[in-house]
Every structure is written in C-alpha cells, then in structure tokens.
Amino acid sequence: MPGMGGLELVAQVRRLPYRGRIIVFSSEIGEQVAAAYAALAVDQIMLKPMHPATLCHRVREVLQATA
C-alpha cells in the first residue's frame, strides 16, 4: 500500500471511534506481523490469493460474529 503499511493503517483506525470489524488481506504474513495484527484486534487475516467462495465464507463468519 503506497505511503502507509497495513499495520500503520489498522493502528490509526483503532485510534478512531470506529467500532466495525477489520479484515486484513495480505500476500505474506510472518509470525511477528500476525502477532502485531492480533494485538490490534484484527478480526481476520486472509492470505492472497484466495478463492472467491472462501472469501465470501470468511466475510460471513466475521459478520455473523458481530450479530
């Protein structure tokens, strides 16, 4: 992502009064990055590429967890 990394973006969003879910898409996630996202309470980390049916299933899971 030009100008800002995913971790920085999520950290900034978490400082806002935003209470929605956060799903991260990435082509590579190491253990340290995954732990940093977990510390920021990311709801789901999805690795690219992903089959569209899998994407739909995971998004439904995250949305149902809010209900």
pTM for the model stands at: 0.83
Give the CATH class of 6-66.
Answer: alpha beta
By three-state DSSP, how is residue 18 classified? coil
| Residue 35 CB coordination number (10 Å) | 11
Amino acid (1-letter code) at residue 17:
P
Cα distance between residue 64 and residue 13, in whole Å = 21
Q: Over the chain, what is the mean pLDDT?
A: 92
Question: Model confidence over 13-39: pLDDT tens digits?
Answer: 999 999 899 999 998 899 999 999 999
- Of 7, 50, 9, give the one whose Cα is nearest residue 30: 7
pLDDT of residue 6: 93
Please state the φ and ψ torsions of residue 38, each to the nearest 5 degrees: -60, -40
In this model, does residue 3 exceed pLDDT 90?
no
